[in-house]
Amino acid sequence: SSELTQDPAVSVALGQTVRITCQGDSLRSYYASWYQQKPGQAPVLVIYGKNNRPSGIPDRFSGSSSGNTASLTITGAQAEDEADYYCNSRDSSGKGVFGGGTKLTVL
């Protein structure tokens, strides 16, 4: 089965730029999606496809991909961006897979 690997924790100073990465062989063939989850809440989709933001997601969130690595970039991080971030995709058999999640701290 395919796996997606994320750094467990990342920190960023308020107003600075942070990149959260997701690695996995399946990302060479399929796009990653990114989710933000705050305590006690359901996840929220923030990036999907090549670099698409659902309605209502601030444009400081962007996505990119190179080889087996997908990245979520937050340009000008805000206090409200402090959350857990998850990537997900699919594998070649059609099954879904999530990364282990990255806890983002905004200092």
Partner 1 sequence: EVQLVESGGGLVKPGGSLRLSCAASGFTFSSYSMNWVRQAPGKGLEWVSSISSSSSYIYYADSVKGRFTISRDNAKNSLYLQMNSLRAEDTAVYYCARDAYDLYAFDIWGQGTMVTVSS
Give the residues lining the site for partner 1 (CB under 8 A).
1, 30-31, 33, 35, 37, 42-45, 48-49, 54, 84, 86, 88-90, 93-101
43 DSSP 8-state letter: -
Question: To the nearest whole angstrom, how small is the minimum distance from the Cβ of residue 88 to partner 1?
Answer: 6
Question: To the nearest whole angstrom, how small is the minimum distance from the Cβ of residue 61 to partner 1?
Answer: 14
Handedness of CA 63, 61, 23, 88 (dihedral sign): negative
Task: Compute and round to an integer the Cα radius of gyration of the chain.
Answer: 13
C-beta closer to partner 1: residue 16 or 92: 92
**H or E element in which residue 71 lies:** strand 69-74
C-beta closer to partner 1: residue 8 or 79: 8
